[in-house]
Structure formats: C-alpha cells, structure tokens
Structure 1
Amino acid sequence: MAGVKPWGLVLIVFCMMSLSSLVKGADNNNEGLAASFIFGDSLVDAGNNNYLQTLSKANVPPNGIDFKASGGRPTGRFTNGRTIGDIVGEELGVPNYAVPYLAPNSTGNAILYGVNYASGGGGIMNATGSIFVNRLGLDIQIDYFNITRKQFDQLLGPSNAQDHISKRSIFSITIGSNDFLNNYLLPLVSTGTRISENPDAYIDDMINRLRNQLTRLYQLDARKFVVANVGPIGCIPYQKAINQLKENQCVDLANKLAMQYNRQLKNLLTELNGKLQGAMFVHANVYDIVMELITNYARYGFTTAGTGCCGAGAGNGGQLAGIIPCGPTSSLCEDREKHVFWDSYHPSEAANLIIARQLVYGSTQYVSPVNLKQLQNL
C-alpha cells in the first residue's frame, strides 16, 4: 500500500465496507422462504400414497388434468391441479414444489426446498383411515421428518441446517377432517369409539395428541407453523349425497363437531405461542374461508358448490355424484374452474387458489395472528 495517502486508505476501506454491505443486502433480499414442509391428509398429499398399498389413491386420470408441472398427468394429488400447499409455496417464492417423502427423488439437494409428508386418509389419531388399509398418520409423518432433519445436518452442517429449518422454513399442518369423516363418524368402523367416547372426550384426545405432535416438531427446530382448522365437512358433496340433501343444505352433526374441534384448536395454538419460546403458530381459519365459498359461490365465479366436477353424475347433480371416487370412468364437467369441489371431498384448483391466497395475504378474519407473508418475514 506504499504511496497511498491516509485519506486514500480510508476511502478504500469505506468502499470495501460499502461493497460488503451491498452483497449482504442482496443476500438478504434473496432470503425468501427456503423450504416448505407439509404435513396432513389428502387435501395436501402430493403423491405419497402412490407408494403405499392403499385404497386412498389419486394416481389415475382425470386427477391432475390441469396440473401444468406434469403436463396434465396424475401425480397423486387429489384435485385437478395444484393443492393449497403447492400454491402457498409458489406465493412465498419457494423455487420448487415440496417433494413427496416416499418418492424416489426425495434425496440430496431436492429436500432443501422442503418435503411433503401428507397422506390421503391420514389423521391426528393413529386409528384414523384404517378403512383405506395403509396411510401415513401424523405421528408417522413426524417420524419421517425426524429422518429428514438428520439429512439436513449432513447436507448443510448442523449450524446451517438449524438456521435453514428454524428461520427460513414454514411448517404447514392440514389435518383433522379424516378423524371425523373416516373415524368417529364412519358407520360400523367407529361404533366402538362412539360407544366408549362421547364427542367431548374424543376431541380432547385429538387436541392432546396434536399438542404432543406439534411440540415434537418444535423440538426438531420447527419454529414457523401454520395449522389449518377443519373445514365445513358437513357441506362436502359426499355428505350431501349420502344424506340426500339439497345443494344449500349441510349435515349439522359433522359441522358441529368440526366447530367444536376448531374452538379448541385455536386455544391450543394460543397456548403453544405462549409456551414454546421463539415459535409462531399461525391459525388458518379454513372453515370460514370454505364456508364463504360454499355460501356465496356465485360471487367468486363458481356455478355450483353442491356437486363435484369429477364423479358419477358430476355436472348434472345425479344421485351418485359425490359418492363414487374420481377415476377414468367418471363423468367430468367441462367447466372445471366453475366448481368449488373437484370430487366428493376435495376442492378444485380454482377453490384452492382462493383459499391459499387468503392464507398468504389475508386479514385476521381468516389467518391470525399474522398471515403467511408476514410469517415468512419474521
């Protein structure tokens, strides 16, 4: 540095510091959501059930007919296009869809964008979904995340892995519907449970188990959570069909159970926000979002919320609409974007888009205490 005046040295140091801060600033600007870890049931399953011997599968046409990433081929998603989890990840800037845990390509750097553990038929309770033979309940899904967590240490080193998971990842949990539809409310299968447990005791068991499951994820360095409540399950086409209800009618018992569970879930998330240091549990009020779509479907550009687009009698309100699973022999409506429901249970991609965007950008009426865009930036 001979020949450099003292003030010149200061200028060089200042320039180097400015350059460094610009580089850091660029890094920070790129620090969007790094990974999306998805837990749940068929509402967000991205193909795990393809790799199970199970009766709960969506790996046949016309499922996935509007899923651009696969060219319209079925992927195991229980809808015509993207799931809520897919759309949330896109809106928050995750570069890739979370890879299904059981898929052969869920290895190496592919998992750095997140992993999807969701399974059609899965529930909070281990007995839920037994009618389907095989499915991944939430306990098993978290067991699998424990394996992923160790893989992150190997890929990034323990310190970077912890940072990646706790600061730059969101954990979404969409589960609970099957604990009613395919457990407590299921004829014959549920008789023993319903005799031994009244609804209050059963819902208490669900909440206690979920408390342990969420705490376990926290112990594995999860910090940013979004937990969806149970939607208006008494209003899905399946329930309307088996109970021979009109389009604007819903099954009261199913909705009352969902609302009772939802009240306790909100209390649980408030409790965990106060108890688990550094964590943020966001409550996703899916019940009210979906009920709004069902009640005021025309306002959102839909022509029906009573029958699924895919299924026997779909599009003409036939008596079997909403009972027969969506498959190659199903009738298919022409205007898929005009149906709130894709099949007997699951929303269409058009409905998923509205639900997901409410969660990402919406007000505290639907997502609280912060929306997912705000959660990302915490």
Structure 2
Amino acid sequence: MTHPPQEQHVHQLTYGDIKAATDRIAGRVRPVTLTRLDEGAVRTGHRDPLDERPEQPCEVWLALEFMQHTGSFKARGAANFLQAHRDAGTLPDAGVTIASGGNAGLACAWAAQAQGVRATVFLPETAPEVKVARLRSYGADVRLTGAEYAEAAAACEGYAASSGALASHAYDHPLIAAGAGTLMEEIHQQLPDLDTVVVAVGGGGLFAGVATAAQQYGIRTVAVEPEHCRALHAALAAGHPVDVPVNSVAADSLGARRTSTMALHAAQQDHVTSVLVSDDDIVHARQTLWDHRRLAVEHGAATALAALLAPDQGGRELGLAARRATPSRSYRPGNGEKVCVVLCGANTNTATLTHP
C-alpha cells in the first residue's frame, strides 16, 4: 500500500529526504550551472601579520540557479511536492492551491501545469498585473481576494478545505525544503572539494535544504539575511522561531516574518554561520553582478553575494546576545578556500539597475 507523503510540519529535515527528492525530480528541473569568478575577484580580508606566505586568493563560484524554470529555485520544491503526491496517489482532482504572488506561486503554477492539474493561486486585489499575467501564463486560476496577503491566505485555506485541493506552502514543508536541497546535491557533484556554500535566507526553505545536504559532506553553510529581515537570526537568538519586523529592499523574496522550525534546526548544527548585511550592501552586490557580469538578479539573490563584498563591520548596532550569535556583517573566506555563492532568483525589475 502506498502511503501519502508526510503533511505535518517537522522539526528536522534529513539527508534521506533530499536524496529521495533528487531521484524524484531528476529530469524535471534544469541542472544548475556554475561559473567561476575571475582569479582574485574576491580576496581574503585580514591577514595574520606573522604569516609571511604569499596571499592566496580564495576560489569563488556562482551557482546560477536563477536560470531555473520560473526564474528561481522554488521550482525544485514545487516539483518535488507535486510529484511525491502523484507517486503516492494523493494528488486530488481539484489540484493544488497556494497563496503567493511571488516565486513560490509561479513555481507552484508551473509544476501543476507540468503535472496536468489545476493550480488555484490566491493574491490580494492589489497584486501587480504583471504577476497576475505571468501566473495565468502557467495556466493558473488566479483569485484576487482582499486588500492584504493575510486575507488572500485565509481565502486559500478556506478554498482548500471546501474544494479538497492540495494546499502548498512557500517554504515551511519538508517536501518543499527537500526539493530545494537538491540544488546542493548538484553543486557537490560539480565541486566535490567545496569548502563553503553561501545562501540567502527568507523563510528558510532553501537554507534548510542546502544546509542539510551540506552537513552531509562537511561543507560550511553561510546563511545571509538582510539586517531588517532577520527571521532566522532572531530565532537563533531566542532558541525558537519568533515574529520579526520586515523592512528591506529584498523583502519581496526574503521578507518572511517567521522562519521555519526546520530552518532553525539546520542552523543550530555545526558548520553553519549566520551573517547580516545592509540594504546598501545588497544593492551594491546586485549592481556589481550587472556591471561586471551582466547578470540581472533579484535583491534576494544578491543578498548572498553581499556577504562576501560587504566591508567587515563586526557586531555594530547589535546587542550582546546577537553579537554572540553572529559577530559579523560579512563573511571573509580563508586563504585558498573554495566558496560557492547561490544566486537563487532573477524575477526582478531590471529598470532599477543603472546602465553605465
């Protein structure tokens, strides 16, 4: 007898979940492309004055996950979520529903179209027409409800209960996070001697998946958040998920008010470093990618790179407990360290990039 995928929230994501997801969505998503930054493009920060060896540049790679279906990593989780239910025979005729006008909504609509089932996506009436049009291009039934996201989310919940549609989530579900973790499996296959992976954190689905897979291989994970969208950092300081205010240029993709328990558990493991960056640093990193590589990414994706480019400002403006949790506003690779920065999405307004 086939049992339906686990639906309740879990405290821990396992590497086995990610391996299962890797097999499940093979051939359904685009393999990630990696590209190396120029030699010496990013160098180490402070050197020990007693070390007389010549300085060695670190080796930095970019994971171009923004080239994924729908323009972000979210396609991995959505594909895993729906395929798992298809395999278990628990994908209802009513299809799937989600409240999200962002990357998660797009990915859900795309994955549903690939499965030949209906996606019903709830958005507030204030949603930009461009988002509505793109969702409809994937065949979604778009329902505009209420003036705020909370009202759309409540309508989505009610619709799932009344219609029997499968309710999806943007990040707080083991199948969603495991799908995101398949990205780390692909990175490790291409860079088996990788030391560190750097990833932006919003609600924590991508981070939980990537960190869980990285832990399997002894790879350090650097979790980067905007200083005013710090749901994971706040959870680490409190010891449990807490609500945080959201105010950042990257809030459209990283603006979760509360991180998942899965993400907190992953962050409490060894080889995880939490970093906060300013909006100015995020904007600079995004512009730098455009100026030097002609890569147009969303602010959420640039947040990861900002950790390497930002000046080391230590624990400025943080309280004692927060400084103990994360004393740095940047990440400085060591001499010869091999680092991969995940550029997770590119659903952005390119008009906000300057064109020198």
For normalisation by structure 2, the TM-score amounts to 0.30
Question: Highest relative contact order (Cα 8 Å, sep 6+), 1 or 2?
Answer: 2
More helix by share: 1
Indicate the structure (1 or 2) with the bigger Cα radius of gyration. 1
More strand by share: 2
For normalisation by structure 1, the TM-score amounts to 0.29
